[in-house]
C-alpha cells in the first residue's frame, strides 16, 4: 500500500509552497537523471542516488520524502525582491 505524503508536514520544512515546488522539482530532475544513467552505463552522471529508503520509483515522490526527512534542504540567496 502506498503511503500518502502530508502537505502540512512538508510545509513545516520550507517557507512557502513555491519553495517546496522548486526544491522538489529540482531534486526530482536529479533523480530522473540518476535513474536514466543506470540504463546507459557509459553516460557519466554526477547526481546522488535516492537518500531515503522507499518502494516508490517516482522521482517526485522520492524527492518529497527526502524533504520530509531533512535529506534535501535549501538556502536563500537573497531576501525579497529589490
Can you read off the three cell numbers belonging to residue 79? 531576501
Query: Looking at the domain assignment, is residue 65 inside a domain?
Result: yes
List the domain range (segments joined by +) for residue 47: 16-69
Domains in the chain, number: 1
pLDDT digits (tens, 9 = 90+) for 31-62: 998 888 888 776 677 778 999 998 888 999 99
Query: Looking at the domain assignment, is residue 2 inside a domain?
Result: no
Phi, psi of 42 (to 5 degrees): -80, -15
Q: Report yes or no on whether pTM surpasses 0.85.
A: no
Q: Are 49 and 62 in contact (CB under 8 A)?
A: no
Q: Give mean pLDDT, residues 1-30.
A: 89
10: Cβ contacts below 8 Å, ≥ 6 apart = 20, 64, 67, 68
How much is the pLDDT for 37? 84
Query: Looking at the domain assignment, is residue 32 inside a domain?
Result: yes
Amino acid at each position: 500500500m502506498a503511503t500518502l505524503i502530508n502537505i502540512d508536514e512538508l510545509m513545516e520544512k520550507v517557507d512557502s509552497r513555491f519553495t517546496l515546488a522548486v526544491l522538489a522539482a529540482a531534486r526530482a530532475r536529479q533523480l530522473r537523471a540518476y535513474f536514466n544513467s543506470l540504463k546507459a552505463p557509459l553516460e557519466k552522471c554526477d547526481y546522488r542516488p535516492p537518500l531515503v529508503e522507499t518502494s516508490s520509483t517516482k522521482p517526485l515522490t522520492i524527492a518529497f520524502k527526502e524533504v520530509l526527512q531533512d535529506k534535501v534542504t535549501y538556502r536563500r540567496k537573497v531576501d525579497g525582491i529589490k
